[in-house]
């Protein structure tokens, strides 16, 4: 992923030889996800800080090419939701997202002080779900194959690095030709249902025990930790829903500064039209 970002930066930097059209971008905000352990489409509940940097190239006054890398954390916990309390699962995962695409400003920021904008492109992301066992030790979940991945037919081991489709938008403010700030919401549509390590049905307990050991059984179902008499569900009992893939998203503030300041079309501090 680092090599991919380096390549994108080199390409955009080369484009900058045509003029002072390259901006350095910084993002600060939150990361969150939607999936089996967090069913709300968009929420601040269980969100975590996120940070990103990147570059954008001004193709025209309204159209930009952009490349960013954003890092954050995702998590979900049945104990904090209104559904599946007896399943008692939880997870956390780091998330690293490398995004390249196009952004379009609806207004010309050389003529206006503010504009809504949209963006879309392609992302390559990495994740690694983990939890804490009953004594508080961190355990990575993907190697445990909690739903029989790798030894149950039709359930391959999921990859921890994949592509997603990013899109979103926001509002951007021009403080000068060279300095801009914005508010942005960007979502990522993935092709995996395992960001939270939960997707389909419970695998047979004895089969899971034979292939992955007692720890996998203990973490595939944690309702017994509630001391309510619950036991590991029968094979085929729903553990999650495979109908919808997982999503993740970033929301926050963006700051863009023109590299080679002074290259703006009107210069810093020149008058602008306002609403």
User: What domains are there in the chain, each with its CATH number?
Assistant: 2-258 (2.40.160.20)
Give yes or no for residue 261 having a pLDDT over 80. Answer: no
Q: What is the pLDDT of residues 87-126, one digit of tens each?
A: 999 999 999 999 999 999 999 999 999 999 999 999 999 9
Q: What is the pLDDT of residues 185-235, one digit of tens each?
A: 999 999 999 999 999 999 999 999 999 999 999 999 999 999 888 999 999
Give the alpha-carbon dihedral of 123, 27, 263, 266, to 10 degrees. Answer: 110
Q: Which residue has the tokens 């990147």?
A: 54
| Residue 28's pLDDT band (cuts 50, 70, 90) | very high
Mean pLDDT over 113-141 rounds to: 97
Give yes or no for residue 165 having a pLDDT over 70. Answer: yes
N residues, the chain: 275
pLDDT value of position 4 = 59
Contact residues for 176 (Cβ-Cβ < 8 A; gap 6+): 264, 268, 269
Residue 190 and residue 56: Cα distance in Å, rounded? 24
| Residue 269's pLDDT band (cuts 50, 70, 90) | very low
DSSP 119-163: EEEEEEEEE--EEE-TTS-EEESGGG-TT-TTTSTT-PPPPSEEE
Mean pLDDT over 127-153 rounds to: 96
Alpha helices in the chain (DSSP H): 2-15, 205-212, 214-220
Least confident interval from 70-74, 145-149, 178-182, 224-228: 224-228
The whole-chain average pLDDT of the chain stands at: 90
Contact residues for 252 (Cβ-Cβ < 8 A; gap 6+): 27, 28, 29, 30, 50, 183, 184
Mean pLDDT over 169-186 rounds to: 96
At residue 48's C-alpha, the angle toward residues 45 and 49, to 5°, is 140
pLDDT value of position 267 = 46
Say what the pTM is: 0.88
Give yes or no for residue 33 having a pLDDT over 90. Answer: yes
Mean pLDDT over 234-260 rounds to: 94
Instruction: Count Cα neighbours of 253 within 13 Å in the Cβ-side half-sphere.
Output: 5
Mean pLDDT over 54-76 rounds to: 95
Give yes or no for residue 18 having a pLDDT over 60. Answer: no
Mean pLDDT over 261-266 rounds to: 55
pLDDT value of position 271 = 45
Mean pLDDT over 172-191 rounds to: 96
- Burial (CB count within 10 angstroms: exposed 0-12, middle 13-18, buried 19+), residue 145: buried
Give yes or no for residue 8 having a pLDDT over 80. Answer: no
For 242-269, the three-class secondary structure string (H helix, E strand, C coil) is: CCCCCEEEEEEEEEEEECCCCCCCCCCC
pLDDT value of position 268 = 42
pLDDT value of position 275 = 43
């Amino acid at each position: 992923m680092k090599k991919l970002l380096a390549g994108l930066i080199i390409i955009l930097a080369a484009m900058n030889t045509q003029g002072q059209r390259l901006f350095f971008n910084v993002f600060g905000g939150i990361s969150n996800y939607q999936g089996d352990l967090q069913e709300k489409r968009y929420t601040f509940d269980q969100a975590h800080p996120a940070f990103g940097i990147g570059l954008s190239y001004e193709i025209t006054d309204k159209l930009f090419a952009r490349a960013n890398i954003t890092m954050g954390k995702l998590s979900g916990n049945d104990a904090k939701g209104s559904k599946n309390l007896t399943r008692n699962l939880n997870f956390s995962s780091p998330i690293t997202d490398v995004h390249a695409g196009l952004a379009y400003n609806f207004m010309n920021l050389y003529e206006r002080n503010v504009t809504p904008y949209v963006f879309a492109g392609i992302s390559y992301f990495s994740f690694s779900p983990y939890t804490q066992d009953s004594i508080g030790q961190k355990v990575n979940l993907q190697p445990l194959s909690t739903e029989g991945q790798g030894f149950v037919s039709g359930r391959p081991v999921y990859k921890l690095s994949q592509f997603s489709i990013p899109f979103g938008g926001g509002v951007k403010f021009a403080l000068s030709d060279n300095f801009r700030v914005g508010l942005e919401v960007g979502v990522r549509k993935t092709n995996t249902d395992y960001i939270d390590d939960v997707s389909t049905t419970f695998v047979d307990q004895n089969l899971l025990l034979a292939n992955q050991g007692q720890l996998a059984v203990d973490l595939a179902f944690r309702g017994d930790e509630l001391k309510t008499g619950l036991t590991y569900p029968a094979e085929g009992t729903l553990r999650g829903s495979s109908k919808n893939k997982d999503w993740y998203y970033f929301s926050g503030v963006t700051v863009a500064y023109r590299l080679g300041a002074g290259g703006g079309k009107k210069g810093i501090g020149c008058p602008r039209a306002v609403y």
